[in-house]
Amino acid sequence: MTTPDFEDWLNRQDIPVEDTVTLDRFLGYLEDELGIHGGSLGIAEETYTERYKGLEEYGIRAVARHYTFMGEPFVETRYAIKGELGLFGKFRAYEIGAIRARVAGDWDAAEALEYKYGIMEKEPERRKVIYQERS
């Protein structure tokens, strides 16, 4: 039985982009850096599938963008979409991922991506504005 508190906590963790590329790297990071093991890794695998896998399957990958903002180093996650020029924000990446999954007939991935998009839509307005401005 999964625990929503653990899933929420795991989703809030700032995991380096390079450790989200494959499931093995993701689980390895959780074991080595956060000390997660046993049945919790099964829950983490479900979280990975929901959060990262659907995007990768449809040519969308997370990219860490490093730059200086007001004199301070800053890192943000942007999304590279195969066949499109430039980097995209989180909202647009999930929207395009859901569309591509529906076109491919992968209803499970489309539903997961649309669910995640719906959660983002319910975020506080101050966070939505940040995502939409950076899209």
Amino acid at 118: G
For residues 48-53, average pLDDT: 68
CA atoms of 28 and 45, how far apart (whole Å):
11
Q: Are 87 and 65 in contact (CB under 8 A)?
A: yes
Mean pLDDT, the chain, integer:
79
Write down the pLDDT at residue 81.
93
Whether residue 26 contacts residue 20, with contact meaning beta carbons closer than 8 Å, is answered with yes
Q: How confident is the model at residue 38 (pLDDT cuts 50, 70, 90)?
A: confident
**Contacts from 93-102 at CB under 8 Å and sequence distance 24+?**
93/55, 93/60, 94/55, 94/120, 96/58, 96/60, 97/54, 97/55, 97/58, 97/60, 100/58, 100/59, 100/60, 101/54, 101/57, 101/58
The reported pTM is: 0.61
Tell me the pLDDT tens digit for each residue of 64-104: 888 888 888 888 888 899 999 999 988 888 889 889 999 98
Q: How far is CA 88 from CA 65, 79, 134, 135, in A?
A: 11, 5, 7, 5
pLDDT tens digit sequence for 125-135:
665 555 555 54
Residue 1's pLDDT band (cuts 50, 70, 90): very low
